[in-house]
């Protein structure tokens, strides 16, 4: 799943998307510069919010990736 996130982040043109987690939380990605899904073996995705807060997601708990539409938002812990 982390490889798919990297594909979406590198798409040209970039299209906002939502990361859906196993616990029901959703994280809207409106710009690729605020997300890190490194190509390492660590199954982690890091998201930085506009206010500077950070989310560290387990790539193992991502249930789906969806194209986003509408206004920007994120549902955080």
Chain mean pLDDT for the chain: 89
E-strand stretches of the chain: 17-21, 26-29, 35-36, 44-48, 54-58, 62-67
Task: Report if residue 72 sits inside a domain.
Answer: no
pLDDT attached to residue 44: 95
CATH of the domain at 31: 2.30.30.100
In a domain, 77, yes or no: no
Does residue 75 belong to any structural domain of this protein? no
pLDDT in tens, 6-34: 999 999 999 999 999 999 999 999 999 99
- Distances in Å between the Cα of 38 and the Cα atoms of 2, 28, 47 are 8, 18, 12
Q: Which domain holds residue 62?
A: 2-67
Is residue 74 included in any domain, yes or no? no
User: b or e along 35-69 (b: 16 or more beta carbons within 10 Å of the residue's beta carbon)?
Assistant: bbbeeeeeeebebeeeeeeebebebeebeebeebe
What is the number of structural domains in the chain?
1
């Amino acid at each position: 799943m982390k490889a798919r996130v990297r594909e979406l982040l590198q798409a040209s043109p970039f299209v906002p998307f939502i990361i859906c987690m196993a616990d029901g939380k959703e994280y809207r990605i409106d710009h690729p510069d605020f997300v890190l899904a490194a190509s390492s073996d660590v199954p982690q995705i890091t998201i930085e919010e506009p206010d500077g807060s950070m989310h560290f997601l387990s790539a193992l708990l991502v249930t789906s990736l969806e194209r986003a539409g509408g206004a920007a938002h994120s549902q955080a812990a």
